[in-house]
Amino acid sequence: MSDFDRLAALLFPDVTETPEELLETRFPPRPLPEGAQVTRFAPSPTGFLHLGGVFGALVDERTAHLSKGVCILRIEDTDKKREIENGVPLIVEGLSAFGIRFDEGPLAACAETGAYGPYIQSRRAPLYHVFAKELVRRGSAYPCFCTEEEIAALRAAQEAQGVTPGYWGDYARCRTLAPETVEENLRAGKPWVLRLRSPGKPGERVKFRDVVRGEIEMEANFVDVVLLKSDGIPTYHFAHVVDDTLMRVTQVVRGEEWIASAPIHLQLFWLLGLKPPKYCHTPTIMKEENGSKRKLSKRKDPEAAAGYFSDAGYPADAVVEYLLSVANSLFEDWRRQNPQAPWQAFPFRLNKLSSSGALFDLDKLNSVSGEVVARMSAAQVRDGATAWAEKHDGALFAALAADPSYAEKLFAIDRGGKKPRKDIAKWSDVRAYAEYFYDALWQTREEEELAPGLQKQILDAYLQVFDCADDKDTWFGKIRALCAPLGFSPDVRAYKAAPEQFKGHVGDVSAVIRVALTGRKNTPDLHAIMALLGQARCTARIRDYLRTLEN
């Protein structure tokens, strides 16, 4: 038995399997069609779903499902301090609200789905130890007994000398401990961490291909990073290598902040004789503030939280479409050409992902969301608005839920057609849009500029003739007929040719009627609005308005 074998047996007496055996027996290649990709979303269960997390999960989900592959949810809970109760179901539910679903992982309350688990890192200790033992056997990892104080002192000394700080090269004291000393320390119960014995030297370079960014060349790793902490729990670096190997992940989609540690990961794969996955480092979602860009921050920016968007009333599909348009410049063209297709039909391609920092842009989100809502049916708008109002606007909910068929009709006005209106970008816009359809909600009124006397004449005359049962032509014919006797032109062009001859034109007359009935200068089709309000309510509103003119 070599010294390394003896050390491996000493450190991991319970481990009987080898990585090779695991990969042959419990984690064999997946029976998937050619070209199918396996991805994973790997959040920590902190209870906070960041918009960047939704973005990453969406990229994972699209990549896997469009290739007929598998999308895994893996929970990275090695940092117990950051964990909260219910963190996992919050992630699963939070993402499923955006239509992002996984095939494997801790998807149900107490059960895991899939044959490549466990999917929660804290349940995987024995698997990490199999790979750790293998590294020790190969002479590529060793136990380090240095205390935190010793490490801090080393760092201070290195800083004073102006050398790269860290546990590396000749500074890595425990690299060369005599086997007897190691044995003695272990027997004495001294705590240890497992460190990589890095084969790298300062100044060496490494190259790898990133699916999004192309070839990346950077300094190779030469630091003996920690692989297992003193409680036997792996660091991110080691867990990534073991988990993505055993889960047969083909594409590692992760934030660009991980590029810096990719050389460590590549070294680990190489030392273990394993093939690394393809890396796809996604851009960080940034925010522009006072002319400079910074990361969208959980602490400072409410819109960093995925939940912000459902609270504000953005339909989940709108947030997804916005993220797809950020991710991929081809999305918007595709959307224009396929206005009715679900976003799932977009041929998303990882290698077309934009690699520059994505800027979060609320105006853009509003515009995308306005388009999404404009494409919905009236019943979908009603249902979305009602569900949102139930949680966020009791009075609006009461109004919409009291008569769903009336609500559907009001949202149907001017819906569809070539140039649909985009008044509603989010459900919180619905109250302002729909309030005048409900006496109990109606609060805001815009002012009509025409002189009150003239307005009164118009409305008095209109009250004599209007009938909610009129079809649109008759209705407008009546409004035109009011014009001449009141000194208005029934024809806009005639008015423009000689404005001095008129008090205004037919548009001004109907504007007065519109303001009296809705309190708005701009509404969807007034004829349809009046038909929905009904004869009695229209008459009452015009009379009420006339009273306000008298005061």
| C-alpha angle 339-342-347 in degrees, rounded to nearest 5 | 90
Q: Contact 105/72 with Cβ under 8 angstroms? A: yes
Min dist CB 83 to ligand GLU, Å, is 12
Q: Which of 129, 240, 281, 503 binds ligand GLU (CB under 6 A)?
A: 240
Q: Closer to ligand GLU by CB, 8 or 252: give it.
A: 252
Closest CA to 176 of 224, 142, 222, 213: 142
Which CB sits closer to ligand GLU, 237 or 541?
237
User: Which amino acid appears at position 458 of this protein?
Assistant: I
Using DSSP, state whether 195 is helix, strand or coil: strand
Would you give the binding string for ligand GLU spanning residues 196-235, x where CB under 6 A is met?
Answer: ----------------------------------------
- Choose which of 38, 42, 71, 509 interacts with ligand GLU (CB under 6 A): 42
Site string for ligand GLU, 49-88 (x = CB under 6 A): ---------------------------x------------
CB of 8 or CB of 212, closer to ligand GLU: 212
Name the minimum Å distance from CB 271 to ligand GLU.
Answer: 19
**Between residues 267 and 523, which has the closer beta carbon with respect to ligand GLU?**
267
| Nearer Cβ to ligand GLU (43/94) | 43
Total number of residues that touch ligand GLU (CB under 6 A): 7
Radius of gyration of the chain measured on its C-alpha atoms: 33
- Kindly tell me which of 197 and 248 has the beta carbon lying closer to ligand GLU: 248
Among 44, 369, 457, 523, binds ligand GLU (CB under 6 A): 44
Strands 488-489 and 504-505: parallel
Give the span between the Cα atoms of 226 and 167, in whole angstroms: 9
CB of 328 to ligand GLU, least distance (A): 20
| Residue 392 neighbours by CB under 8 Å, 6+ apart | 311, 313, 427, 428
Could you tell me the two tokens for 1? Answer: 């038995």
Q: Given the complex with ligand GLU, which of 129 and 240 has the nearer CB atom?
A: 240
Q: Nearest 5°: phi and psi at 491?
A: -130, 120
Residue 42 C-beta: closest distance to ligand GLU, Å: 4
The CB-of-243 to ligand GLU minimum distance in angstroms stands at 9
Distance of closest approach, residue 56 Cβ to ligand GLU, in angstroms? 7
- Are 35 and 67 contacting, i.e. CB atoms less than 8 angstroms apart? yes
What are 521's two structure tokens? 């200068």
Q: Assign residue 99 a region: left if phi > 0, alpha if psi is -120 to 50, beta otherwise?
A: left
Residue with the shortest CB distance to ligand GLU: 254
Binding region for ligand GLU (CB under 6 A) out of 41-49, 96-104, 127-135, 407-415: 41-49
What is d(CA 422, CA 373) in angstroms, rounded to the nearest whole number?
8
Q: Is 541 in the site for ligand GLU (CB under 6 A)?
A: no
According to CB under 6 A, which one of 62, 129, 254, 503 is a site residue for ligand GLU?
254
Q: How far is the CB of 43 from ligand GLU (least distance, A)?
A: 5
d(C-alpha 170, C-alpha 187), whole Å: 26
43 binds ligand GLU (CB under 6 A): yes
Closest approach of ligand GLU to the CB of residue 121, in Å: 9
For 343-357, b/e burial (b = at least 16 CB within 10 A) is beebebebeebeeee
The residue among 62 and 514 lying less far from ligand GLU, judged by its C-beta, is 62
Nearest residue (CB) to ligand GLU, 82 versus 155: 82
Q: Please, what is the Cα angle at 81 between 77 and 82, to 5 degrees?
A: 65
**Candidates 40-48, 434-442, 465-473, 519-527; binding stretch for ligand GLU (CB under 6 A):** 40-48
DSSP 132-162: HHHHHHTTSEEEE---HHHHHHHHHHHHHHT
Q: Which residue has the tokens 């047969």?
A: 248
* Residue 75: CB minimum distance to ligand GLU, A: 9
Tokens for 175, please give them: 């690299």
- Total residues found in the chain within this entry: 551
Judged by the rule CB under 6 A, the positions of this chain that interact with ligand GLU are: 42-44, 76, 240, 254-255
